Structure 1
Amino acid sequence: MIWEKDDYTISSERKNVDIDALHDMLRRSYWAKDRSREAVEKVIETSLCFSMLRGEEMIGFVRVLTDTMAYAIILDMIIREEFRGKGLGKWLIQCIFGHPEIKPLRQVLWTSGADAFYRKTGFREMSNLKFMSVNWVL
């Protein structure tokens, strides 16, 4: 699918993911700074990807893992720093919410620093649930 707004395009077509640009953005993040290019390639293959483009340049990205029945897990949401504060992240989330494969599912994510942003897009904390993990140390 393709969405357009002003000078920007969001594409859910995997061919529009610029692996080098994405790897560079993720290396600058706090959560994926050590992720190898090979690991980035691998997660692209197994995810529904949304690339944000300005012209041909990828300036944002998010990926979604889904079981197609109940859950869609939103991961690796990132907008290049110089494009933040323009409503592009909110638009990217809205496109995910409207995607026909994701719309009927429970959309979930975890964050350690962007909760205020995600609250503005409609997410809320689930106080009766606990996040649990194995082999993940923060």
Structure 2
Amino acid sequence: MYELDDDPGRIDADAVWAYLSTDAYWGRWRTRAQFDAQLRGAWRVVGVYESATGAQVGFARAVSDGVALAYLADVFVLEHARGRGLGKALVRRMIDDGPGARFRWLLHTNDAHGLYKGFGFTGPDDTYLERPGMPTTS
């Protein structure tokens, strides 16, 4: 059994960092200090936990203006917990069952397009422009 919780105090930052810094194609560029700053600045977080042990097996983070717009980031479920609908439950808890249910949601992803399409995510329309991040210099 698993449970979802949006209590930021329950997030196991070490467990989330362990996944993002090694397994997540989108997260390996960050330092731990940068991740910690993102976690502190998150508008909302949702964790997935094993009921028996309390171990964190999934995570999602959002940034938002708190009124109309939110960005979904760092969504994952650990491999051993996949195949149980936890990814869908995690995204649903974040975007449909929370305070941002009526917001415009944004995200970037190289995979899981089918998952996100099921929640109404589509490609951008002609009104959308984006300035990609600028490379950093050492």
Within-5 A mapping of 1:15-26: 15-26=9-20
Q: Could you give the per-residue CA deviations for residues 67-126 of structure 1, whole angstroms, max 9, x where no partner exists?
A: 012201100101101212221101111111234421121111111222222113321112
The one-letter code of the counterpart of 1:25 is Y
Question: Which residue of the partner structure matches residue 68 of structure 2?
Answer: 70
Alignment CA distance shift 1:132-1:113 (3 Å)? farther
* 2:49 paired residue among 50, 53, 56: 53
> SS at the partner of 2:58?
strand
Q: Could you give the per-residue CA deviations for residues 39-69 of structure 1, whole angstroms, max 9, x where no partner exists?
A: 2211111111111111310000000101012
Structure 1 outlier segments of 4+, above 6 Å: none
Within-5 A mapping of 1:38-117: 38-47=33-42, 48-55=44-51, 56-117=54-115
The one-letter code of the counterpart of 1:49 is V
Counterpart CA distance in 2 for 1:115 and 1:132 is 22
Alignment CA distance shift 1:136-1:53 (3 Å)? farther
Cα deviation for residue 136 of structure 1 reads: 5.0
> SS at the partner of 1:77?
strand
Counterpart CA distance in 1 for 2:88 and 2:135 is 28
Aligned length: 131
Q: CA RMSD in A?
A: 1.8
> SS at the partner of 1:52?
strand
Please give the TM-score of this superposition, normalised by the length of structure 2. Answer: 0.85
Please give the TM-score of this superposition, normalised by the length of structure 1. Answer: 0.85
Structure 2 gap segments, 5+ residues each:
none
Alignment CA distance shift 1:136-1:112 (3 Å)? farther
